[in-house]
């Protein structure tokens, strides 16, 4: 397995990609049917080109790259006799939506990848999903968690839990303490907005209502945040449910402490996206969050998980010597499982059909990929997939995502 980090420039090379790879990816996540393998005639030394689009200088991006590299080493160490290999082509989206879209486009057009792992954020995924759909190439994200992404196309796979999976747990906390109303604090982004309808429905079930919605721009400065906090301080409601990214939380909670809104009588609940990165936050941020309640998925312990975590920490420290506070969190586990699912799919196929259409004078992705597509729309099939985080339920409804019902508060 090799990882390449390069900058590429457009050139017109047009070729159709095999749709069998996406079909086998979907079925590998669903414990691939033995009948499918009967259709495949394996050839030796077959390589599958896989693009990786991440914000490589971000913590989640670095965690993901270490996990993918470790997963590749583990997978081919266990399966030495396999005749297929995944070759990863890493591109840096530089924390921009346009960067992710451009990287994905060039990977599809120039590198002619069979799949793309990424992009990292929900906003980036909104753009890249369309490219994958046009090219009939699967886009597999282990970190884009907005529920609004889920029903868009059969070529988008969320190997992460989407944010709607946690709303019942949050509502259960509100019900347990008998809170009838609360303030919803969320960031103005695809990530922040995606959970809102699911939260509203969950709170209606426990007879709780949102008394005020505080929308914070991703680029908000400290003055804006303090102004909003003091406004909320004048209200009667003292319960706050917060759904923001770790970068915005790093600005928010020190200001919450400054506004003296963490004292007795106040209650703050944060969602799993922030909790999963809690121990990677700066110490001044974690200190300002003392007393805050959070929810996160419960990951059953196992020898395999413990061994993987130990080796991951060693590798991450080598890859990132300047980062001291990092854990193999859920993003890392999901990235690890994503590689295993893709590698399993590639081996089940065992070969790639040659292109049926070569048109080097066109730059249109829709002209590159004209293989027959298995129609996943309308399907609703539940299976069980054993990954590094244990056995999880997967739901396939036109596309696929991981589902998990147990959350820890």
Per-residue pLDDT at 387 exceeds 80: no
- Kindly report the number of other CB atoms within 10 A of residue 378's CB atom: 8
Helix (H) or strand (E) holding 185: strand 181-188
Helix (H) or strand (E) holding 247: helix 246-258
CATH classification for the domain delimited by 165-296, as one of 3.40.50.2300, 3.30.40.10, 3.40.50.720, 3.30.70.1290: 3.40.50.2300
The residues spanned by each domain of the chain are 3-162+304-408, 165-296
Same fold, 3-162+304-408 and 165-296: yes
Q: Determine which of 93-102, 258-267, 343-352 has the lowest per-residue pLDDT on average.
A: 343-352
Per-residue pLDDT at 355 exceeds 70: no
Query: What local confidence, expressed as pLDDT, does residue 376 receive?
Result: 26
Structure tokens at 133: 């759909």
Helix (H, G, I), strand (E, B) or coil at 334: helix
Residue with tokens 């040659």: 354
Most confident of the ranges 18-22, 150-154, 284-288, 385-389: 284-288
| pLDDT confidence bin for 129, thresholds 50/70/90 | very high
Q: Determine which of 203-212, 290-299, 334-343, 353-362 has the lowest per-residue pLDDT on average.
A: 353-362
Q: How far apart are CA 183 and CA 2, in angstroms?
A: 48
Per-residue pLDDT at 219 exceeds 70: yes
Q: How far apart are CA 312 and CA 327, in angstroms?
A: 9
Query: Distances in Å between the alpha carbon of 126 and those of 133, 134, 152, 274, 339?
Result: 11, 13, 9, 21, 22
Query: What local confidence, expressed as pLDDT, does residue 20 receive?
Result: 57
Q: What is the mean pLDDT of residues 348-361?
A: 56
Tell me if 125 sits within 8 A of 103, measured CB to CB.
no
Mean pLDDT for all residues in the chain: 81
Q: What is the mean pLDDT of residues 357-383?
A: 40
The CATH number of 3-162+304-408 is 3.40.50.2300
Per-residue pLDDT at 361 exceeds 80: no
Angle between helices 303-319 and 59-78 (to 10 degrees): 120
Q: Residues, the chain, total? A: 409
| pLDDT confidence bin for 364, thresholds 50/70/90 | low
Q: What pTM, to 2 d.p., does this model score?
A: 0.81
Is 115 buried (19+), middle (13-18) or exposed (0-12) by CB count in 10 A? buried
Query: What local confidence, expressed as pLDDT, does residue 6 receive?
Result: 42
Q: How far apart are CA 249 and CA 7, in angstroms?
A: 32
Per-residue pLDDT at 374 exceeds 60: no
| pLDDT confidence bin for 191, thresholds 50/70/90 | very high
Sorted by sequence, the CB contacts under 8 Å of residue 405 that are 6+ apart come out as: 165, 393
Structure tokens at 224: 């804006």
Sign of CA dihedral 254, 258, 259, 265: positive
Helix (H) or strand (E) holding 187: strand 181-188
Query: What local confidence, expressed as pLDDT, does residue 108 receive?
Result: 96
Tell me if 257 sits within 8 A of 285, measured CB to CB.
no
| pLDDT confidence bin for 10, thresholds 50/70/90 | very low
């Amino acid at each position: 397995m090799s990882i390449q980090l390069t900058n590429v420039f457009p050139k017109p090379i047009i070729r159709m990609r095999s749709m069998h790879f996406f079909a086998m990816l979907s079925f590998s996540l669903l414990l691939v049917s033995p009948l499918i393998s009967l259709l495949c005639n394996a050839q030796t030394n077959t390589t599958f080109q896989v693009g990786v689009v991440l914000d490589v200088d971000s913590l989640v991006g670095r965690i993901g790259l270490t996990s993918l590299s470790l997963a590749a080493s583990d997978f081919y160490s266990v399966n030495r006799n396999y005749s297929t290999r995944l070759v990863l082509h890493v591109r840096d989206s530089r924390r921009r939506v346009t960067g992710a879209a451009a990287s994905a486009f060039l990977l599809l057009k120039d590198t002619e990848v069979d799949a793309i792992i990424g992009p990292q954020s929900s906003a980036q995924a909104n753009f890249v999903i369309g490219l994958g759909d046009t090219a009939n190439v699967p886009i597999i994200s282990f970190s884009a968690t907005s529920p609004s992404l889920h029903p868009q196309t059969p070529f988008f796979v969320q190997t992460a839990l989407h944010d709607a999976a946690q709303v019942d747990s949050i509502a259960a906390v509100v019900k347990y303490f008998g809170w009838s109303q609360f303030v919803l604090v969320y960031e103005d982004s695809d990530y922040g907005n995606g959970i809102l309808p699911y939260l509203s429905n969950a709170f209606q079930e426990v007879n709780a209502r949102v008394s005020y919605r505080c929308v914070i721009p991703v680029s908000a400065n400290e003055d804006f945040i303090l102004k909003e906090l003091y406004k909320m301080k004048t209200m009667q409601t003292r319960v706050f449910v917060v759904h923001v990214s770790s970068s915005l939380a790093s600005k928010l909670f020190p200001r919450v402490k400054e506004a003296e809104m963490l004292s007795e009588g106040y209650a703050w609940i944060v969602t799993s996206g922030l909790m999963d990165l809690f121990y990677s936050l700066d110490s001044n941020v974690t200190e300002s969050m003392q007393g805050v309640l959070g929810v996160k998925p419960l990951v059953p312990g196992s020898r395999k998980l413990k061994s993987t975590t130990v080796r991951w920490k060693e590798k991450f420290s080598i890859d990132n010597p300047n980062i001291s506070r990092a854990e193999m969190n859920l993003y890392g586990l999901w990235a690890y499982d994503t590689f295993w699912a893709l590698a399993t799919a590639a081996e089940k196929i065992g070969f790639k059909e040659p292109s049926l259409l070569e048109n080097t004078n066109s730059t249109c992705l829709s002209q590159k990929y004209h293989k027959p597509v298995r129609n996943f729309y309308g399907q609703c099939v539940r299976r069980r997939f054993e990954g590094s985080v244990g056995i999880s339920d997967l739901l396939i409804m036109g596309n696929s995502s991981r589902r998990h019902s147990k959350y820890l508060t």
